[in-house]
Amino acid sequence: MKTQKNISKVLLYTLLIAGVICSIGPFYWMVIGASHTSGEIFKVPPNFLPGSELWTNLKNLDESIGILKVLGNSLTITLIYTALALMICSASGYAFAKFKFKGRDAIFFVLLLAIMIPYHVTLIPLFKMMAALGWINTYQAVILPNLAYPFAIFLMRQNMKALPDSLLEAARVDGAGEFKIFFTIVLPTMKPSLAAVAIFLFMFQWNNFLWPLVILNEQDMYTLPVALSSLIGLSKVDYGQLMMGTAISTLPIMIFFLLLQRQFISGMLGSSVKE
Amino acid sequence: MAELQKETAAKQVYEPKAHKKNWITPKNFPYILIAPTVILFCLFTVYPVISSFIMSFQKSDGAGMAFVGLENYVRLFRDPLFLTALKNTFFILIIQVPIQLFLALILAAALNSKLVKMKAFFRISYFMPAITALVAYSIVFMIMLDENYGIINYFLSLLGMEKVGWLTSTTWSKVALMIAITWRWTGYNMVIYLAGLQNVSESLYEAASIDGAGRIRQFFYITIPQLRPIILFTFVLSTIGTLQLFDEPFILTEGGPNNSTLTISLYLYQNGFKYFDFGYASAIAYVLVIMIAILSWIQMKVAGDQD
């Protein structure tokens, strides 16, 4: 019995560790690659240790896409988007979770349905709309279309449901206005959920590719993913530079995630994960 | 300073009066809360969805659009490239989604086992791929999958295997795409299953072990049936995701070689933003909508009937 238990333990750990190598390996490879030249990246047998070309790659990357400008675009768009979307989605989530009003279920159903609609359907009319407004190559064109993000509203609603009604009632009896209740009771109590949804929204916009690709066509306005994809289109691809770019686009979000992962994962699941 | 104090004192006096006139009530407040969502949603989702539907029956005609009835849809089903994209997408859907979800289930079950320590470490490691930009990981995979110098073929050569033309062979390019997608999404689904497993009663497993059921039997007879609603949920989500597959083939293979990784979304993008054939691209989008609706309905029906 004891040996059997040990055997299954060894098997389990082998499986799990093999899985970890597969899922983390590419990140390691990316960081290593960012410090090598194209030639060194494609050496056989491969290099598994960091190289010395980190600064050269960074300099080359800056020359070809203007990494600071691109990083600034991505950060500006993502931060403004996250702040606005968080306000809009948490307000709606609160309404759907804690109020009874005419049309509530119908509106919520339509929002849920929108999760199933492929984003591509809206692509061309949105493009035409932005063109008509003269908003091609603007931040607002990237930010506006996804502000009312159905999945985030859904998550907020799930989390807000846990808020006790008696708390809200007590505040109302005390004479607090609805806005006051929302800002001084609901939002502070929901901080962990807000954080989780904020990370979710941040990642969505940071990684967003297809819409920015369509709406941004001036290199000065590119976001990080769009700028990276433009590097692949070149006739001679500098892979060291490219790896540097992917590392810059991935590492901040990885660190961000590692710091906040507990909140993020539980928030994603509607606070149903118990440790 | 004194003035400011006077002002706040005055305010305090007037506050009760202002409060009485408060026009925000619990009755109209929810509408104020959802107003931004409804306005933005109508402008940027409802309107485009309708507009795109109308456009799918139109064709560019000089500066404007002319109504052409079902012409775009008829053209679609005679278009060999579209049919290739359709076949490719379904091929990936049928093979990749079950593999990925099964793998996620096994990992979740293993991580849920009492024998395993450091659960948080494993959970974070597996979830990590799900936070990366599709563009970034596609680029890394493109480099790792290089036929002659890629690290994956190097590892295969250590095992005594031949070089595989991951991105240059029409068969292997599909496999490469599926490997990349599996890497990105397995951990994501695993976390969803782990959450579901928290709600499965421990006593079920205990009773099964007393009856002499091994781990593998427990997996098939307890874990899978107990998680059925969640498995259905992930199936529907993965199906929708696969049908919309764009970033990976766009970066990894550009739909090639010889259109072997051309997906419906990629073809839509090419028609819309390379050839500016908006009517035709809209028709492709609506075929996608119809397929997602039908497949989701079938999946829910199949799972519902078993209950």
pLDDT at B16: 47
Chain B residue with the nearest C-alpha to that of A99: B30
pLDDT at B306: 53
pLDDT at B21: 55
Q: In this complex, do B198 and A120 lie within 8 Å of one another by their Cβ atoms?
A: no
ipTM: 0.86
The CA dihedral of B172, B176, B179, B185, to the nearest 10 degrees, is -140
The kind and range of the H/E element at B245 are none
B22, B38, B136 member nearest A228 (Cβ):
B136
Position B15 confidence tier, pLDDT thresholds 50, 70, 90: very low
CB atoms within 10 A of CB A208: 24
Task: Give the residue-averaged pLDDT of B128-136.
Answer: 87
Given CA atoms A252, A254, A255, A259 in this order, what sign does their dihedral have? positive
Residues B257/B88, Cβ–Cβ less than 8 Å: no
Chain A residue with the nearest C-alpha to that of B236: A116
Of A259, A254, A264, the residue nearest A195 (C-alpha)? A264
Residues B178/B92, Cβ–Cβ less than 8 Å: yes
Q: Which residues of B touch A249 (CB under 8 A)?
A: 133, 135-136
Position B150 confidence tier, pLDDT thresholds 50, 70, 90: confident
Q: In this complex, do B41 and A207 lie within 8 Å of one another by their Cβ atoms?
A: no
Please check whether residue A2 touches B, CB under 8 A: no
Which amino acid, B213? A
**Count of alpha carbons within 13 Å of A180, Cβ hemisphere only?**
12
Chain B residue with the nearest C-alpha to that of A129: B48
Please check whether residue A91 touches B, CB under 8 A: yes
Q: Give tens-digit pLDDT for B246-303.
A: 888 988 888 878 899 999 999 999 999 888 899 999 999 999 999 999 998 888 888 7
The kind and range of the H/E element at B58 are strand B58-61
> Where is mean pLDDT largest: A49-53, A55-59, B50-54, B158-162?
B50-54
Place of tokens 């690290």: B151
Place of tokens 């289930």: B105
pLDDT at residue A23 tops 50: yes
pLDDT at B138: 87
More confident residue, A149 or A273: A149
Position A181 confidence tier, pLDDT thresholds 50, 70, 90: very high
Task: Give the residue-averaged pLDDT of A6-18.
Answer: 86
Task: Give the residue-averaged pLDDT of B171-178.
Answer: 92
pLDDT at A247: 92
Q: In this complex, do B247 and A125 lie within 8 Å of one another by their Cβ atoms?
A: no
- The alpha carbon of residue A125 is apart from the nearest alpha carbon of chain B, in Å, by 5
Q: Which residues pair with B60 in a beta bridge?
A: B65
Q: In this complex, do A257 and B128 lie within 8 Å of one another by their Cβ atoms?
A: yes
CB atoms within 10 A of CB B292: 18
- 3-class secondary structure, B145: coil
Q: Which residues of A touch B154 (CB under 8 A)?
A: 44-46
pLDDT at A1: 58
- 3-class secondary structure, A235: coil
* pTM value > 0.90: no
B132, B195, B282 member nearest A272 (Cβ):
B195
Residues A261/A149, Cβ–Cβ less than 8 Å: no
